[in-house]
Amino acid sequence: MSARFTGKVVLVTGGSAGIGRATALAFAREGATVVIAGRDEARLVAAVKEIEAAGGAADHVVADVSDAADAAGMVATTVRRHGGLHVAFNNAGVLGEVAPVADLAEDAWAAVIATNLTGVFLSMKHEIAHMRAHGGGAIVNVASNIGAHDRRPGLGAYAASKAGVSALTRTAALEAIGDGVRINAISPGATDTTMSLRPGETRAERDARIGAVTPAGRVGGTGEVAAAALWLASAEAGYLVGHDMVIDGGATA
């Protein structure tokens, strides 16, 4: 059994649910001390308990990544409590309101951009600053096949935010690699979390809807996204810089 992250401190934003929760668990299984961040403390505590029950080491920080002080505090608290920060998985995100651009309220637009794009900017700003001063590190940002690689009517704010994450990843990657900070992104397609459920839709209905339009014939598993994130963050991917890895069952192939 490999343990690629023994002795490493890993920060996972949006680690209380879905892809973030599965990825936090996967990092912990491979020896990392995992710090998960999100807005709802009860959900964070439940995820920490799940990781600890699996034999992992975990902690939580309540933080809204769209808030500059929270994002700075999230990184500072991680470093203060655990002695460093070696890997960050900037995953916190929201789908937001589904509406055509002409009908989208300005505050609905702003809310999606604030979490999905500004949240990644603020998180990376403090993560890179720490990592470049302490021997480097690895960052994996979560974009999406929608926006970064595909378009979907009704999801303009989401698409713009995720295309922004992909572009910001490449820019920051070029800026930071000289200081030993390796930055990449992943772009999942429809993945088995509550985000991919339409209002009132059952999981079975969602699975049939996605399966019918996805070459792989099914929804992606959170463990499959987590496995890609761990590999991108590991030394095995040491020559990958500024890459945006699409994991969508061929939907945008």
Q: Using CB under 6 A as the criterion, which residues of the chain lie in contact with ligand NAP when the complex forms? A: 13-14, 16-20, 37-40, 43, 63-66, 91-94, 115, 119, 142, 144, 188, 190-191, 193-196
CB 237 within 8 A of CB 231: yes
Q: Output 38 or 164, the one with its CB closest to ligand NAP.
A: 38
CB 165 to ligand NAP: min, Å: 8
CB 20 to ligand NAP: min, Å: 5
CB 112 to ligand NAP: min, Å: 9
Please give the positions annotated as active site: 158
Tokens of 208: 């049939």
Taking the alpha carbons of 142, 2, 236, 5 in that order, is the dihedral positive or negative? Answer: positive
DSSP state of 178: G
Q: Which residue has the tokens 């769209």?
A: 66
Q: Which phi-psi region, left, alpha or beta, contains residue 191 (left: φ > 0; alpha: ψ -120 to 50)? A: beta
The helix/strand count (H/E) of the chain reads as: 9, 7
Tokens of 46: 């439940």
Rounded Cα distance, 16 and 79, in Å: 20
Q: Which residue has the tokens 């668990």?
A: 25
Q: Output 30 or 192, the one with its CB closest to ligand NAP.
A: 192
Q: Output 128 or 190, the one with its CB closest to ligand NAP.
A: 190
Q: Output 63 or 168, the one with its CB closest to ligand NAP.
A: 63
Q: Output 46 or 177, the one with its CB closest to ligand NAP.
A: 46
Burial grade of 7 (CB within 10 A; 0-12, 13-18, 19 or more): exposed
Three-class SS state of 246: strand
CB 38 to ligand NAP: min, Å: 4
Strands (E) across the chain are located at 9-13, 33-38, 57-62, 87-90, 137-142, 181-188, 244-247
CB 84 to ligand NAP: min, Å: 22
